[in-house]
Copies of this chain bind each other. A is one copy, B any other.
């Protein structure tokens, strides 16, 4: 068997990096559960026609075929899901009779897309989604709630500071309508190009493609440049002199979201209203958000979401929802590659129990059993080599302590060389040595150098 080569777009982590990913997933789960969100997992596959509604697909979907399918049996009709929203919508419809609404759920799973791999875009990637779904109705205050949950969750992660940039579809639509634009949808689509084109070009396109007057185009651009960390954007929009009921509703909702998220006790997440954010407006119907990570703007957003008035519908009921998704792989793979995050050791063991000779392996096992009974992860040395070799075995794995069984037992901190007598039924390593930790490099805005966070 030849040495296998990596598959492009399918990143895989070594054990120490996996420590980081597990820490992040555990931290996200903890926050989501503190806010009452239940965990679910959906199967990896969906019927193709559910992923490809109305035959329209702009995603690169992986379709499944049974290798031993008979002639003409064709595809299994199944495909791997490309996000967690479509499977969640199907789960809600399928299990609605067994769920209580509003239903709060989080889901942390891989998804697959057959697209060309590049930094931040993978063929298999893990996402973390939180959504609240109602049956026939879902009060607006849940928009504020779900965004606060994600602010709280990302603030607790050992990643560089992220910024939540909020907008509201009602605000944009109402503004364009109040402005008297003949084709609101075309205008939204054009403004969405501000990322790639200069403002002057976008203004010209608004005139040529969206039927705007030059003055309307300028006003659209003025709206899109409003970006503020608090509710003062409301005055800024009002100063543009457009009047519309939907605009007012959108302004009130956006102000409530920004205010609610700004009120979360935060260490490093920032929150702002950014009236340029559009985010698939065909899908969203109110609140929208994109999340960016400081120093990693090249990844584009590391998360996003919003309000959708019809996540799903089964003919009798409609299920409105609001949610936000965080790209776990998109965020972590570059941070791990850059050394911004690292696991402190590749093994869970805090202690290596040395073996004096193969005949006494059982007494080394007994020490390990005693340590494990008190929650200390440990392993017994693979061979009864000289102690110096066994210490180097621990060193290579980052195991901080080596235990020497005997009368008396002794335990050595191999970082300092300190060796002391110890009782296997009582000795405990320092709390910070117990589990592998996540170390973070100096990427914080405050210029701090290295900070360590405990796994679990």
- Residues on B with beta carbons closer than 8 Å to the beta carbon of A57: 67-68
Per-position binary interface string of chain A over residues 77-121, scored 1 when its CB falls under 8 Å from any chain B CB and 0 otherwise: 011100000000011011100111010110000101010000000
Bound-state Cα–Cα, A384 to B265, Å = 25
Bound-state Cα–Cα, A398 to B113, Å = 38
Contact A34–B4 (Cβ < 8 Å): no
With both chains docked as a complex, state the minimum distance between the C-beta of A454 and any C-beta of chain B, in angstroms.
Answer: 14
Contact A39–B22 (Cβ < 8 Å): yes
A268 at the interface (CB under 8 A from B): no
- Residues on B with beta carbons closer than 8 Å to the beta carbon of A312: 1
Bound-state Cα–Cα, A110 to B397, Å = 28
Work out how many copies of this chain go into the complex. 2
Contact A114–B76 (Cβ < 8 Å): yes
A339 at the interface (CB under 8 A from B): no
- Residues on B with beta carbons closer than 8 Å to the beta carbon of A67: 48, 52, 57, 60-63, 79, 114
- Residues on B with beta carbons closer than 8 Å to the beta carbon of A346: 38, 100
**A10: which of B1, B43, B314, B375 is its contact (CB, 8 Å)?**
B43
Bound-state Cα–Cα, A57 to B141, Å = 55
Contact B396–A35 (Cβ < 8 Å): no
Contact A90–B4 (Cβ < 8 Å): yes
Contact A15–B105 (Cβ < 8 Å): yes
- Residues on B with beta carbons closer than 8 Å to the beta carbon of A65: 62-65, 75
Within 8 A of B (CB), among A54-74: 57, 60-68
Bound-state Cα–Cα, A358 to B139, Å = 11
Given A66-B114, A76-B62, A348-B36, also A94-B41 (CB < 8 A): no
Bound-state Cα–Cα, A315 to B3, Å = 8
Contact A66–B76 (Cβ < 8 Å): no
Contact B347–A104 (Cβ < 8 Å): yes
* Nearest-CB residue, chain B, relative to A316: B3
- Residues on B with beta carbons closer than 8 Å to the beta carbon of A95: 12, 14
Given A67-B79, A124-B45, also A313-B1 (CB < 8 A): yes
A380 at the interface (CB under 8 A from B): yes
Residue of A3, A94, A361 ringed by the most chain B CB atoms within 10 A:
A3
Given A52-B67, A98-B14, A139-B383, also A3-B314 (CB < 8 A): yes
Contact B7–A38 (Cβ < 8 Å): no
Contact A68–B62 (Cβ < 8 Å): no
Contact B18–A40 (Cβ < 8 Å): yes
Bound-state Cα–Cα, A57 to B60, Å = 28
- Residues on B with beta carbons closer than 8 Å to the beta carbon of A76: 62, 114
Besides A6-B94, A13-B40, 10 other A-B contacts (C-beta < 8 A)? A4-B93, A5-B94, A18-B40, A18-B41, A38-B346, A44-B44, A48-B67, A52-B67, A60-B67, A76-B114
